[in-house]
Amino acid sequence: MNLFGMKTELINSVLDGDSDQGGVMPALKSTLSKADVNDIFEYIKSINGRVMK
Ligand code: HEM
């Protein structure tokens, strides 16, 4: 699976929340912007080259 292709979907899960995975991911758009979430994902990429290549 190419996680990079899912990046927009993952960012939207953080901004809008998601309850499809057995728990409730809270919507964070009141505290984080799309650019903030993108920065967090870029940071994760920078410390683990196998994530979202
Ligand atoms: C910047 C990235 C993220 C942050 C800061 C974040 C933050 C959080 C926090 C604080 C909770 C706990 C909520 C609570 O118990 O009240 C949570 C739960 C959860 N998050 Fe995220 N999350 C992020 C990314 C993601 C992504 C990308 C996904 C899915 C693709 C995800 C899926 C979930 C799920 C399923 C839970 C519920 C877990 C459970 O209750 O068993 N999260 N997240």
Does ligand 1 come within 6 angstroms of the Cβ of 27? Answer: no
Using the predicted structure, report yes or no on whether residue 1 has a pLDDT greater than 60.
no
Tell which atom from ligand 1 comes closest to the C-alpha of 24: 37
Segments forming the whole domain that contains residue 36: 1-17+28-53
Cβ(21) – ligand 1 distance below 6 Å:
yes
Q: Domain tally for the chain? A: 1
8 A C-beta contact, residue 41 and residue 11: yes
**One-letter amino acid of 25:** M
Q: Would the CB of 18 count as within 6 Å of ligand 1?
A: yes
Residue nearest to atom 21 of ligand 1 (CA): 25
The rounded distance, in Å, linking the Cα atoms of 40 and 28 is: 13
Higher pLDDT, 4 or 23: 23
Does residue 22 lie in a domain region?
no
**12: nearest Cα among 45, 33, 3:** 33
Start-to-end CA distance of the chain, whole Å, equals 10
Residue 39 lies in a domain: yes
Tens of pLDDT along 14-44?
999 988 878 899 999 999 999 999 999 888 8
Give the Cα separation of 5 and 22 in Å (integer): 23
CA 17 to chain centre: 10
